[in-house]
Amino acid sequence: MGKIQMAKGNCNVSGFTLMEVIVSIAIIGISFVMVMQLFSGGLKASRRSCDYTRAVVHAKYKMEEIASVPVSDSGAFEDGFQWESEIEPYGELEESNFDLVKIKIRVFWDAAGSRQNSVELVSLKTISTEEIL
């Protein structure tokens, strides 16, 4: 804090100089911009996390639905998420009437301003050889 002396007398007036005020306003402005960028990044991360959570819930729902009748298919949910399922043979179990099939569910969506995101769940299911025929 600078001191200004008046020409007449010995009176000292204390206060901030113009340079000190300008520097402090610049520091406050830069700090404000940094805080707003952190806040914006937090909102984007929260949105991305919400989208991934919804995609996992959709994929789990479809996995349960398709596991009862394994069929390759695709479609869309009401909220803009799309899905596709892929069923492929995985292998035969030794000395049994069962085969393993691999069930793959992929849920994908377009995020605002970025490339297409996706979540994939994979599971194995035993199927009797009579069901395959």
How many other CB atoms sit within 10 Å of the CB of residue 1? 7
| pTM listed for this prediction | 0.68
Q: Tell me what the mean pLDDT of segment 30-51 comes to.
A: 92
Residue 45 makes CB contacts below 8 A (sequence gap 6+) with none
How confident is the model over 55-94, as pLDDT tens digits?
Answer: 999 999 999 998 888 888 999 999 889 999 999 988 777 7
Q: Tell me what the mean pLDDT of segment 10-15 comes to.
A: 69
Boundaries of domain holding 42: 2-132
What does the chain come to in residues?
133
| Domain count within the chain | 1
In terms of Cα–Cα distance, which of 88, 27, 36, 81 is closest to 58? Answer: 81
Predicted confidence band of residue 99 (pLDDT cuts 50, 70, 90)? confident
pLDDT score of 120: 94
Reduced to 3 states (helix: H, G, I; strand: E, B; else coil), residue 40 is helix
Q: Tell me what the mean pLDDT of segment 7-16 comes to.
A: 66
